[in-house]
Structure 1
Amino acid sequence: MKLAPIRALTLDLDDTLWPIAPAILRAEAALHGWLVDNAPATAAAFDIVALRKLRDEVGRAEPQWAHDLTRVRLESLRVALRRAGDDEALADAAFEVFFAARHEVELYPEVLAALQRLSAAYPLFALSNGNADIARVGLGPWFRGALSAREFGIGKPDPRIFIEACRRLGCEAGEVLHVGDDLELDVLGAQSAGLQTLWLRREDCAALPRDGVATVACLRSLADTLGC
């Protein structure tokens, strides 16, 4: 693997810096517990699985919200409350319980030390389709900035969100390296915008499913590769 000189890095968040599934499961449990205490009819009508299905139902019904996971989740809570006969105005408070727990992430073991190494050498910029806030996660000091699909109105793999991240970094696209776990959203999307890429593959970094896709096993390996 040979990279051209780079001036900055953009990093995906969910499943790149932390596993997202455990955080979402905890957040869903916290949400349902809150509903039991504050909207019991809704909690009785919708268990955790049913709330998840309703969220997906709302997402399919409103595809124009695909980039805004917060809006989809909020609307699905309003629908659940309304269908159960509870006050749908409770949706905002219910979502805040979910959102707070969603930020209780467990970083992959090497991430914190690697971010310290990487940020000492390059400006780091978070680029995510999710709704995590790097400040709430506690990683704000190592990032120059962040851009989410919700904020921008367009998500990965659309090249425009990558180009906007480069603009905010003050770099040309070819001077920026994007690293993320998703082949289509992160690697192919970033390449379509002219960025350099590394596909983060924790489980099987040695497997190359297609030509021309360079991989890295973890952020420590990324720092080693870049000589940080």
Structure 2
Amino acid sequence: MSASVRAVIFDVGETLLDDSTFWGSWADWLGVPRHTLAVLVGVVTTQGRDNAEALRLIKPGFDLVAERAARERAGHGESITDADLYPDARPTLGALRDAGFWVGIAGNQTERAGLLLRALELPVDAIATSDEWNVAKPDSRFFERLCTWSGHRADQIVYVGDHRDNDIIAAHSAGLHTAHIRRGPWGYQNADDPKLRATATWRINELTELPALLISSDTG
């Protein structure tokens, strides 16, 4: 194990979970082809805008909270199953825990997502979401809460994510080590971005690269 890293905490969407089901369900709810919404998500991503803007392009005045509630009432609420996990997610979580790291999952998700993730019985020590904490990335208070929640200092934690600003730069600014995974729209778009390269402690293509990197590295 690394001399200083004691905890590894993961973002959710496009880090552990393939977001295809998430976006596909929104396309179905709004009555547009899934390809249409996928392209619009790509457009707002390249523009540096929040991905919810893609939904507002389809439905002007779109209210995310109200639409989520409407989906729940209609029996089409948020869903997360084992099929949504990237193939390397569960094995990597287990390998890190077996190696003695404290392992957590914490991202910008709903309370319902937290319940759904816990139902998967993943090999982790704890799971939390921004809605449960009432603070979201990239707010520095999210990462302060991360430290208190995990029981580790910032310099003992690696935060793993795909998003340059919300995950890597924000966690780095809060004093955490960071691992950027090159997957999903944001992961690929910013893979060679100078700001990301300057703030990512590690850059990986697969989660399965992490255990060996963290066990063999001395970051402190």
TM-score > 0.5, shorter chain as reference = yes
User: Which residue identity lines up with residue 68 of structure 2 in the other structure?
Assistant: L
Deviation per CA, 1:11-30: give whole Å up to 9, x if none: 0011001211333314653x
Query: Which residue of 2 is the match for residue 219 of structure 1?
Result: 207
Distance across 2 between alignment mates of 1:135 and 1:141 = 12
Q: 2 CA distance for matches of 1:169 and 1:55?
A: 39
The structural deviation recorded for 1:223 is 1.7
TM-score normalised according to structure 2 size:
0.70
CA offsets 1:121-141 (integer angstroms, 9 cap, x no match): 211111111226355245434
Conservation of the 8 A alpha-carbon contact between 1:27 and 1:98: no
Deviation at 1:48, TM superposition (A): 4.4
- Aligned residue pairs total 183
In structure 2, distance between residues paired with 1:225 and 1:55: 44
Contact 2:90/2:123 (<8 A) preserved: no
Pairing partner for 1:108 from 64, 67, 86: 86
Is contact 2:6–2:152 with CA below 8 Å preserved after alignment?
Answer: yes
* Higher gyration radius (CA): 1
Structure 1 distance, partners of 2:143, 2:60, is 27
Q: List alignment gaps of at least 5 residues for structure 2.
A: 38-54
Asked if 1:129 is matched to 2:108, the reply is yes
Cα-to-partner distance string for 1:142-196 (whole Å, 9 max, x where unaligned): 1222221211222101111111111011111111110000010000111121111
List gaps (5 residues or longer) in structure 1: 33-45, 60-68, 78-90
* 1:7 alignment counterpart: 6
- Distance (Å, rounded) in 1 between the aligned partners of 2:135 and 2:115: 22
1:38 aligned partner: none
Q: Could you tell me which of 139, 144, 162 is aligned with 1:158?
A: 139
1:7-51 Cα deviation digits (max 9, x unpaired): 11110011001211333314653xx4xxxxxxxxxxxxx63479x
* Runs (4+) off by over 4 Å: none
What SS class does the counterpart of residue 154 from structure 1 fall into? coil
**Cα separation, partners in 2 of 1:25 and 1:148, compared to 1, 3 Å:** same
Q: 1:56 to 1:223 in 2, by over 3 A?
A: farther
CA distance in 2, matches of 1:56, 1:158: 27
Letter of the aligned partner of 2:138 in structure 1? P
Measured at CA, do residues 161 and 109 of structure 1 come closer, stay the same or move farther in structure 2, by a change above 3 Å? Answer: same
Contact kept, 8 Å, 2:93 with 2:122, in 1: the verdict is no
TM-score when normalising by structure 1: 0.68
Question: Which structure would you say has the larger RCO, counting Cα contacts within 8 Å and 6 or more residues apart?
Answer: 2
Amino acid at match of 2:102: P
Q: 1:183, 1:118 → 2: CA distance? A: 23
SS at match of 2:131: helix
d(CA) in 2 for partners of 1:177, 1:226: 9
Partner residue, 2:31: 47
